[in-house]
Amino acid sequence: MGQEESTPIDEGASPTTLESRTLDGLAKHITSGQAKKIVVMTGAGISTSAGIPDFRTPGTGLYSNLARLQLPYPEAVFDISFFRQNPKPFYVLAKELYPGNFRPTVTHAFISLLHKKGLLLKCFTQNIDCLEREAGVPGDKLVEAHGSFATQRCIECKTEFPADGMRRLVGEMKVARCEQPRCNGLVKPDIVFFGEQLPESFFRNREVPYQADLAIVMGTSLTVQPFASLPTFVGEGVPRLLINKERVGGIGNRADDVLFLDECDKGVRELAKACGWSEELEEHWGGTASKAQPGTTKEKTKTMDEEVDELSREVEEALKLNASHQAWVNGELSSKDSKLAEEKQKKQVESEVFGEGDETKLHESRKKDSQDAKGENGATSGLDHVFPHLGKKSSL
Ligand code: OAD
């Protein structure tokens, strides 16, 4: 699923920095003081145990569930051109994902504990749920690469929209409109949609992985660029730990890579235990429960499947109600075989938003193998203008 390096996997190679390619080996690296600048890179998999579905896991992921609805294709929910035509499906999703509804997981608490111990250099997250912040990671340690629900603005005149008004409207599943006289543009949270530029903080911090003395990648399929390239910019000989249900991004190919292919929460608990931090971690996580605002925390009595079913019904309902959506779909699909037209539509939007070579914008990885392998070799990856330090790699 994620981008795999084309270099043969050498999981048996002896480490050059670590004593062993295990969590114990990593724990020694940390507790001996060799890891003081830890860079963490995260995705939706760190929030699934909080009850938030990830995107791409077959069956439970948001995209496979949205696929059974009437969206032209699941990613359209985060597509700016589709949003202009029909913002309703995104607002339905926003209600489901809105911050305040979920408690940070023990994995979020682990990241925050690293900060508390003065070991966190930076946490790059693709998540829009703000749970790193809620767990106590301060804003200056966070790069929210795909934006967040923290602020929102008009997509036309860019005027910011008040947070309390947005929360109320999302709660009522009503689409927010710009309050500027004569504007009336659609308002969306400052989440990066496909085809949009990443936030300035991503570009300001893109060289930070070079400075890391340990990288921890958790809960991401590493399929969305330019984020997916970050782990390849960690220096040679610097340990990289992947905690994920599946192997992604070619992590495991380097001599000091460690793989823990299981639940994120289990992985951080085992690492904390090996570091002698178990009690501290659980205590720290316990503190996140009391911060949950009464009345806003969802009672997670439903299974994730029931949650997604409910979301699906809401989306279906919203789509039925929304005449502009029908007009848009009908216009695109009219008088053609619907499957063929749908394919054409998808290709057209893909080339508009992902395919025109602007790598500074959010897009799905395409040539995964070759791209990542080139990055690992320090040669150009086609992302040079996003990561201009690529060429410097061999000199560092
Ligand atoms: P994905 O859904 O693509 O990947 C989640 C990864 O986490 C997968 O590899 C899962 O196997 C793994 N996973 C899920 N639950 C886990 C758990 N409890 N423990 C360990 N691993 C687990 O999500 P992202 O990589 O975050 O963009 O997706 C990247 C971007 O694609 C998102 O930021 C989103 C989407 O389009 C926007 O929101 C704009």
Q: Please tell me whether residues 156 and 178 are part of one structural domain.
A: yes
Residue 83 phi/psi, 5-degree rounding, is -60, -40
* Shortest-distance atom of ligand 1 to CA 44: 26
* Shortest-distance atom of ligand 1 to CA 146: 39
DSSP character string of 113-175: HHHHTT-EEEEEE---S-HHHHTT--GGGEEETTEEEEEEEETTT--B--HHHHHHHHHTT--
Higher pLDDT: 267 or 362? It is: 267
Whether residue 329 contacts residue 70, with contact meaning beta carbons closer than 8 Å, is answered with: yes
Ligand 1 centroid to residue 42 C-alpha, Å? 8
pLDDT at 97: 82
At residue 154, does pLDDT exceed 90? yes
At residue 301, does pLDDT exceed 60? no
pLDDT at 376: 47
pLDDT at 253: 94
Q: Please tell me whether residues 115 and 250 are part of one structural domain.
A: yes
Ligand 1 centroid to residue 110 C-alpha, Å? 18
Confidence of residue 357 (pLDDT cuts 50, 70, 90): very low
* Shortest-distance atom of ligand 1 to CA 54: 2
Pocket of ligand 1 (CB under 6 A): 1, 43-45, 48-49, 54-57, 61, 78, 126, 128, 146, 191-192, 219-221, 223-224, 244-246, 248, 263-264
At residue 324, does pLDDT exceed 60? no
Cβ atoms within 10 A of the Cβ of 259, count?
Answer: 18
Q: Please tell me whether residues 66 and 115 are part of one structural domain.
A: yes
Which residues on neighbouring strands pair with residue 320, listed in sequence order?
none
DSSP character string of 212-262: -SEEEEES----EETGGGGGGGSPTTS-EEEESSS--TTTT-STTEEEE-S
Confidence of residue 385 (pLDDT cuts 50, 70, 90): low
Confidence of residue 42 (pLDDT cuts 50, 70, 90): very high
Domain limits for position 324: 305-354
Which residues on neighbouring strands pair with residue 41, listed in sequence order?
124, 217
Strands 363-364 and 240-243: unpaired
Q: Please tell me whether residues 240 and 330 are part of one structural domain.
A: no
Confidence of residue 336 (pLDDT cuts 50, 70, 90): very low
Given the residues 108, 115, 146, 363, select the one marked as catalytic.
Answer: 146
CA distance 268 to 32: 18
The SS3 call for residue 9 is coil
- Angstrom CA distances, 252 to 173, 207, 224, stand at 44, 22, 19
Atom 11, ligand 1: which residue's CA is nearest? 245
Q: How much is the average pLDDT of 186-212?
A: 94
CA atoms within 13 Å, Cβ hemisphere of 9: 11
Ligand 1 centroid to residue 379 C-alpha, Å? 27
């710009």: which residue's tokens? 178
pLDDT at 373: 35
Q: How much is the average pLDDT of 146-154?
A: 93
Q: How much is the average pLDDT of 317-340?
A: 51
* Residue 325 annotated in active site: no
CA distance 367 to 46: 26
The residue among 218, 248, 265, 259 whose CA lies nearest residue 124 is: 218
Average pLDDT score, the chain:
80
Whether residue 237 contacts residue 271, with contact meaning beta carbons closer than 8 Å, is answered with: no
Q: Please tell me whether residues 290 and 196 are part of one structural domain.
A: yes
């400075």: which residue's tokens? 211
Higher pLDDT: 98 or 353? It is: 98
Ligand 1: which of 244, 268, 368 to mutate, most ligand atoms within 8 Å of CB?
244
Confidence of residue 384 (pLDDT cuts 50, 70, 90): low
Domain holding 206: CATH number? 3.40.50.1220
- Angstrom CA distances, 19 to 9, 110, 258, stand at 20, 23, 12
pLDDT at 395: 25
Q: Please tell me whether residues 300 and 380 are part of one structural domain.
A: no
pLDDT at 300: 45
Ligand 1 centroid to residue 243 C-alpha, Å? 12
pLDDT at 121: 98
Last residue of a domain, one of 304, 330, 365: 304
* Shortest-distance atom of ligand 1 to CA 2: 9
Q: Please tell me whether residues 128 and 241 are part of one structural domain.
A: yes
Q: Which of 37-51, 116-130, 290-304 has the lowest mean pLDDT?
A: 290-304
Query: Would residue 378 be called left, alpha or beta, if left means φ above 0 and alpha means ψ between -120 and 50 degrees?
Result: left
- Angstrom CA distances, 378 to 217, 275, 360, stand at 20, 33, 19
Q: Which of 74-88, 137-151, 167-181, 370-384 has the lowest mean pLDDT?
A: 370-384
Residue 165 phi/psi, 5-degree rounding, is -65, -40
Ligand 1 centroid to residue 396 C-alpha, Å? 31
At residue 127, does pLDDT exceed 90? yes
Q: How much is the average pLDDT of 297-316?
A: 57
Q: How much is the average pLDDT of 232-260?
A: 96
Q: Please tell me whether residues 332 and 248 are part of one structural domain.
A: no
At residue 377, does pLDDT exceed 50? no
Q: Which of 98-102, 182-186, 278-282 has the lowest mean pLDDT?
A: 98-102
Confidence of residue 332 (pLDDT cuts 50, 70, 90): very low
Last residue of a domain, one of 242, 274, 304: 304
CA angle centred on 18, ends 15 and 19, rounded to 5°: 90
Whether residue 134 contacts residue 288, with contact meaning beta carbons closer than 8 Å, is answered with: yes
pLDDT at 217: 98
Q: Please tell me whether residues 244 and 349 are part of one structural domain.
A: no
Ligand 1 centroid to residue 185 C-alpha, Å? 31
At residue 302, does pLDDT exceed 80? no
247: exposed, middle or buried (C-beta count within 10 Å: 0-12, 13-18, 19+)? Answer: middle
Q: Please tell me whether residues 78 and 174 are part of one structural domain.
A: yes
Task: Count how many domains the chain has.
Answer: 3
Atom 32, ligand 1: which residue's CA is nearest? 126
pLDDT at 282: 98
340: exposed, middle or buried (C-beta count within 10 Å: 0-12, 13-18, 19+)? Answer: exposed
pLDDT, one tens digit per residue, over 158-192 is 999 999 999 999 988 899 999 999 999 999 999 99
Alpha helix positions (H), the chain: 23-31, 62-66, 80-85, 88-97, 106-116, 131-134, 163-171, 200-204, 208-211, 264-275, 278-291, 304-321, 323-333, 338-353, 368-376
Confidence of residue 150 (pLDDT cuts 50, 70, 90): confident
pLDDT at 93: 84
Ligand 1: which of 4, 47, 49, 55 to mutate, most ligand atoms within 8 Å of CB?
55
Last residue of a domain, one of 271, 304, 337: 304
Q: Please tell me whether residues 348 and 368 are part of one structural domain.
A: no
Ligand 1: which of 221, 271, 353 to mutate, most ligand atoms within 8 Å of CB?
221
Q: Please tell me whether residues 218 and 344 are part of one structural domain.
A: no
Residue 359 is classified by DSSP as T
